[in-house]
Amino acid sequence: MAVTAEDFGPTISLEGARKARGNLTQARIRWMVLALVLGFGLVGARLIQLGMVVPDSTIEGQARDVITATRPPILDRNGLEMAVDIRVPSLFAEPRRIIDVEEAVRKLRTVLPDLDEAWLRTRLTGDKGFVWVQRELSPTIQDRVMRLGIPGIDFITESKRFYPGMTEASHILGSTNIDNQGIAGIERHMDNEDVALLQELGLARGNALAPVELSVDMRVQHIMHEQLVDALTRYQAIAAAGVMMDVRTGEIIALASLPDFNPNEPATALVKDSFNRITSGIFEPGSIFKTVTMAASLDSGAVTINDDFDARFGVRFGRYTIDDYKGKHRVLSLPEVFKYSSNIGTIRIMQAMGKDNYRAFLTRMGFDQRVPFELPEMRLPSIPKEMSEVSAATASFGHGLSVSPLHMVTAYAAFVNGGNYIAPTLYRRDLAEAQALYQPVIKPSTSADIRYLLRLNAIEGGATQMNKLSLGYRAGGKTGTAEKVVDGAYSSAKNTNFFGSVFPMDNPHYAMIIMVDEPKAENMQSGVTAAWNAGQVSGRIIQRVAPMLGIAPDFAEVLDQNLTPPELR
């Protein structure tokens, strides 16, 4: 039997199940579309937000030009580089661009584990446009950080000061801070002049700044520094310092003070006793100050080079008597007073001109004020405003007053260059420029007498050890041994020793002061006075630097004979 469609009732449709599946699919599609719209919306909004961020033109409150500014190279007088800029990467962050702070902290510390986690988290959180993370990194660290791919982290190239000579000229150069701004030495002086202004104006980016040429000769500087390092060991001293000046122009050829520091690591300047003893240290100069007394008295006309002075007995002031260290206790000629470094004779010579005139001469020589000089590390000398008979007497042989070695080298230069005070400088200065600045302080005839006395002392007096070491270069000089004040009294166990020298005496070109602080005897045969240490250091330096300064050795006795004043021949 055939079955036809008419044999069945109305068709039953399972419409509910299909409809339910259809509705579910449509709902899912709508949710997906909505999710996509919201996602794209959020991304778009973020992009718009980021696009509306105004780039920060400052670096933590400072202009970018100042932070990234370069400094001019510093050269010595022969063109050798003393300070240059190098380019280094520094890591910074833009916290408002960082999406996941915790992830950024975790990744950065894998490369920079020394960064404190809490500090770094705080640093990267917030809405700031620029914060430093770590400055002056190596290229290797820079590459490793870049590979982390952290949004909101980037580098800026900065200028970093580099000093090729390391410690050798540290007290001349000073140093810069992390923003490449001068904080000490000639670097700070340059900022006070014009470098800081150029940086502020944004004119100091790149390497376009003209080099700054100093008066320093790094060859001489190297030898002076080397000999001072040797002195610390040889004499077991606690400090040593030296300065050399061109007596005709006032140019400083070398200046060193130990202990020193590495300007590439400015924090090392904070080490105790690493201050600049040449400019910011003031000391009782001891007998090198007798040269001042001789110049003052001879120039006043109160004494002459062929006068005699009674040094048989000590000079009494009330209950106290001032005597000689190794007195001859006889009448001494003026050259003998200098040669034997007689305190008694020097007091007599000062008394001949009078204490008030003597005090006025100290002012004429600038001993009661700072030396006009570029280095900011400077200290006022200590000179009594008014001198009693006793204070004038002790001052005449270098006790009871304190001056810097820079004061002394400037005075020695004036005493031998014909009698003209010229302020020292660390910049190049030719002779014509210097002569325009000359201030006559003693007569040329007095200058000639001082040259004779200094050379005489090298040949026959307390500077013979220096003369032996610098033989042929016609050096002259004077020793100075100053006992230190310990617990309010002079101590014979602790000295600050000085040696003032000039070379060549037949045509003075350079003056030098060497200081050795608290030296010990080098061996059983040597002593602790200045001739045994500061004098010997001076002789070694002269022997090595004179040839490179164009001074030829000459042993002709006539050169010394020509220094003798006519009235003594």
Q: Name residue 162's amino acid.
A: F
Residue 205 contacts residue 68 (beta carbons within 8 Å):
yes
Task: Please list the residues that pair with 62 across neighbouring strands.
Answer: 59
E runs forming strands in 167-215? 175-176, 182-184, 212-213
Q: What is the pLDDT along the chain (569 residues), one digit of tens a residue?
A: 444 445 545 555 555 556 666 666 777 777 887 888 887 777 667 556 655 555 555 666 665 555 667 888 999 999 999 999 988 999 999 998 888 999 999 999 999 999 999 999 999 998 888 889 998 898 899 999 999 999 889 998 888 899 999 999 999 999 998 888 899 999 999 988 766 566 555 555 555 678 899 999 999 999 999 999 999 999 999 999 999 999 999 999 999 999 999 999 888 888 888 999 999 999 999 999 999 999 999 999 999 999 999 999 999 998 889 999 888 899 999 999 999 999 999 999 999 999 999 999 999 999 999 999 999 999 999 999 999 999 999 999 999 999 999 999 999 999 999 999 999 999 999 999 999 999 999 999 999 999 999 999 999 999 999 999 999 999 999 999 999 888 888 888 899 999 999 999 999 999 999 999 999 999 998 999 999 999 999 999 999 999 999 999 999 999 999 999 988 88
CB count in 10 Å sphere of residue 339: 21
Residue 214 contacts residue 172 (beta carbons within 8 Å):
yes
Q: What is the pLDDT of residues 328-347, one digit of tens each?
A: 899 999 999 999 999 999 99
- Whole-angstrom Cα distance, residue 569 to residue 567? 6
Q: What is the DSSP letter of 524?
A: T
- Whole-angstrom Cα distance, residue 553 to residue 515? 26
pTM for the structure as a whole: 0.84
Residue 269 contacts residue 175 (beta carbons within 8 Å):
yes
CB count in 10 Å sphere of residue 367: 25
Residue 277 contacts residue 515 (beta carbons within 8 Å):
yes
- Give me 293's structure tokens: 């007394």
How high is the pLDDT of residue 192?
Answer: 82
Say how many residues make up the chain.
569
DSSP of 356-425: HHHHHHHHHTTTTS----S-S-----B--SS--HHHHHHHHTT-S-BB-HHHHHHHHHHHHTTSEE---B
The CA-to-CA distance between both ends of the chain, in Å, stands at 169
- Give me 343's structure tokens: 């305190």
Q: What is the pLDDT of residues 23-39, one digit of tens each?
A: 667 777 778 878 888 87
In whole angstroms, how large is the CA radius of gyration of the chain?
38
How high is the pLDDT of residue 20?
Answer: 62
CB count in 10 Å sphere of residue 449: 26
- Whole-angstrom Cα distance, residue 97 to residue 110? 21
How high is the pLDDT of residue 35?
Answer: 80
How high is the pLDDT of residue 3?
Answer: 44
**Look-up: residue for tokens 């992390």?**
178
